[in-house]
Amino acid sequence: MKKTFKSRSALLLAGVVAASLVAGCSGAKDNNTNASSQPPASGSSPAASASGSQESLEPITLDLYSDRAWYSDWTGPGAKRISEKTGVSLNVKKPVQDDGDGKDISLMIASNSLPDLMVVDRGNKMLDQLVEGDYLYAIDELIDQYAPNLRTILDEQYGPELLTNFTEADGHTYKLISGYQTEKYLEQAQKNAGLAPVWLPQLVVRKDYYDEIGRPDTSSPEKFMAALEQMAEKHPDKIPYLGDKSQHSDDLGWFSPQFGVAPYYVDGDQVKSTIHDPKWKEMIKYGFQLAGKGLLTKESFVNTNEVTGQKVAAGDSIVWAYNSTAVNSAPPKDNPDTQFEVLTPFADYMYPTIPRGWMALVIPKSNKNPERTIKLLEYAASKEGQADFSFGVEGTGAGDFKDLAGGAHFYYDASVPNDYFPQGKPTLTTGFNDALNNDWGGTWKQAGLGEPIMLVTNWAVSNTVFWNPADEAKVAYDQMMAPKMKFFPEFDFKIDSASDFGIIEAKIKTLRADYMPKLVFAQSENEFETLFADMLKKAEGLSVDKLEAEYTRQYAMLKAK
């Protein structure tokens, strides 16, 4: 869903457009013939109701651009219900493949054809140019003029960070971010057993082999190695530990959280690359020790994910680098009476997250009706709007589902309290849940709900249908893993891949990838130390110190913010 499309012609075109933008930068405001630096005066458009829905409004169609290929046309039953309620329809334009490079936006700027609003990936490379070129309305100003209740909704239901953490140099907010882990989100996720995602990296073992050695403690690197060695001795025909190349190519990544390795190494007031982190070296040396005992083989560095999955399914491995969903996998073919289970994580396990948000909504000054647009967002952000966009048609119980278009898609379960909905936790009806399990993406599109039509999403609300504090297994998993998650907003560095810093960063990544198998499969500890020192020396030659100085500069700014 988040893959980006690049081509040689796209890059060349982006370069041409960028050059024209630089040449005409001083006239950026003049390029928007109908724009002004302030929102237009309030006209005759009717006001929104207190709940956020808009009353007796003349129909209006707004042009929306998304850089995500999965974004839906405004044609489904969900979109129809929302348009009937608000009077707003959307004419959607999107690329055939995701366009995170912003090629489409570059063309729209060059042709003076920006739409009424955009919902694009937060990392789209053209967002900053839209802000710097004065092509966007300040969302905080539109809120204050036309929809003051939206500020209250964002502050109280989402978290004030959406309007404070994303301010630009002029003090205004131009991007409304969805999917940002605010303090409110973290509080709700932890309360409802939703903080720890099921996809966190884990070491997964065959239960039959683990039972065979008496199920020893594996909560430290030494104890895990000893247990793995015991199982390998009993089953010499099996691969002791098996991952794939995407997990191990440049940083032995599946072991990074087990050793508590952070995205960057903070040394006093300096921020450095992880290659200078003693924990990172300890992790790589652990891989070297595993390999020295024959427990980590070269298969984990060359196999694709698909090949690894086939070998695990056939029963060829003892421990598998995967996640907690493995417990629902079919048993290995050589023993249909066993299953997979997650081993206890190492005591130092820490999964780092740099909260950046997911999608960004912006309102270009080409917008034909900013008042109706911001009031649409007021409705979309409200509890009523979140239910309409994310949950669909309300029913009275689990068995109310009739069909995908008409629902019922959800009901409020009064037996499970919810902070956002006093009537109970929004819960999917059984039939709709079954349809999602059979075809996740197709079902959302047919029902016309969820991510494919999102404008602004409060994940603490939209996830409530999947968060269930009454699910004992999920609660136990969350209690084990949630304390091991750590969030690092101070590491939200902006490094343009085309800049000098971005080039250094890419070269360091390539250097690590080159040295990783050499280090892990070194013939002796002396050779390991010599190789590691050589890697650091080459990193110095690549000007890693300049990159680290930039990390440190941005870190200080983010910490202050």
For residue 98, what is the DSSP state? Answer: -
Banded pLDDT at 2 (limits 50, 70, 90): very low
Q: Is the peptide bond before 408 cis (omega within 30 degrees of 0)?
A: yes
- Judge whether residue 58 has pLDDT over 50: yes
Q: Helices 77-86 and 370-381 meet at what angle, rounded to 10? A: 120
114 pLDDT above the threshold of 70: yes
Q: What is the pTM of this model?
A: 0.79
Q: Give the span between the Cα atoms of 91 and 97, in whole angstroms.
A: 18
Measured N-to-C along each axis, helices 278-292 and 500-520 cross at an angle, to the nearest 10 degrees, of 30
pLDDT of residue 11: 32
Higher pLDDT, 541 or 561: 541
Which of the 8 DSSP states describes residue 25?
G
Mean per-residue pLDDT, 307-329: 93
Residue 141 CA: distances (Å) to CA of 40, 368, 392: 11, 17, 31
Summarised one tens digit per residue, pLDDT across range 458-513 is: 999 999 998 988 889 899 999 999 999 999 999 999 898 889 999 999 999 999 99
| Rounded Cα–Cα distance for residues 202 and 366 (Å) | 48
pLDDT digits (tens, 9 = 90+) for 12-32: 333 333 333 333 333 333 333
pLDDT surpasses 80 at 292: yes
Structure-token pair, residue 144? 């204050």
Residues 118, 134: Cα–Cα separation, whole Å: 15
pLDDT score, position 56: 53
Are 348 and 484 a contacting pair, CB within 8 Å?
no
**Which stretch of DSSP H or E encloses residue 419?**
none
Which whole number is the average pLDDT over 158-181?
Answer: 93
Helix (H) or strand (E) holding 91: strand 88-93
What is the 3-state secondary structure of 153-171? HHHHHHCCHHHHCCECCCC
Burial (0-12, 13-18, 19+ Cβ within 10 Å), 521: middle
For strands 88-93 and 60-66, give the pairing: parallel
Q: Could you give the count of Cα atoms lying within 13 Å of 146 in the half-sphere of its Cβ?
A: 30
Contact 220, 346 (CB under 8 A): yes
CA distance linking residue 555 with residue 561, whole number of Å: 10
**Are the C-beta atoms of 367 and 433 separated by less than 8 Å?**
no
Kindly state the percentage of the chain with pLDDT values over 70: 90
Alpha helices in 4-147 (DSSP H): 8-23, 77-86, 103-110, 127-132, 139-146
* Confidence (pLDDT) at 40: 39
Is residue 8's pLDDT more than 80? no
Per-residue pLDDT band at 169 (split at 50, 70, 90): confident
The mean pLDDT value for 509-530 works out to: 96
Pairing of strands 317-322, 202-206: antiparallel
What number of other Cβ atoms are within 10 A of residue 472's Cβ?
Answer: 10
Q: Report the pLDDT value the prediction gives residue 46, as an integer from 0 to 100.
A: 36
Residue 191 to residue 474: CA distance in whole angstroms: 12
More confident residue, 330 or 44: 330
Contact yes or no for 193/467 (Cβ under 8 A): yes
**120: closest CA among 357, 448, 354, 353?**
357
Q: Give the model confidence (pLDDT) of 405-449 as tens digits.
A: 999 999 999 999 899 999 999 999 999 999 998 898 889 889 999
444, 445, 451, 452: CA torsion to nearest 10? 180
pLDDT digits (tens, 9 = 90+) for 236-291: 999 999 998 888 877 888 999 999 999 999 999 999 999 999 999 999 999 999 99
Average pLDDT of every residue of the chain: 88
pLDDT-based confidence at 379, cuts 50/70/90?
very high
At residue 116, the pLDDT reads 97
pLDDT at 26: 32
Residue 48 has pLDDT above 90, yes or no: no
Whole-angstrom CA distances from 201 to 180, 223, 241, 315, 345 are 21, 18, 14, 20, 9
Contact between 72 and 61 under an 8 Å Cβ cutoff? The reply is no
Handedness of CA 459, 465, 466, 471 (dihedral sign): positive
Q: Identify which has the larger pLDDT, 496 or 311.
A: 311
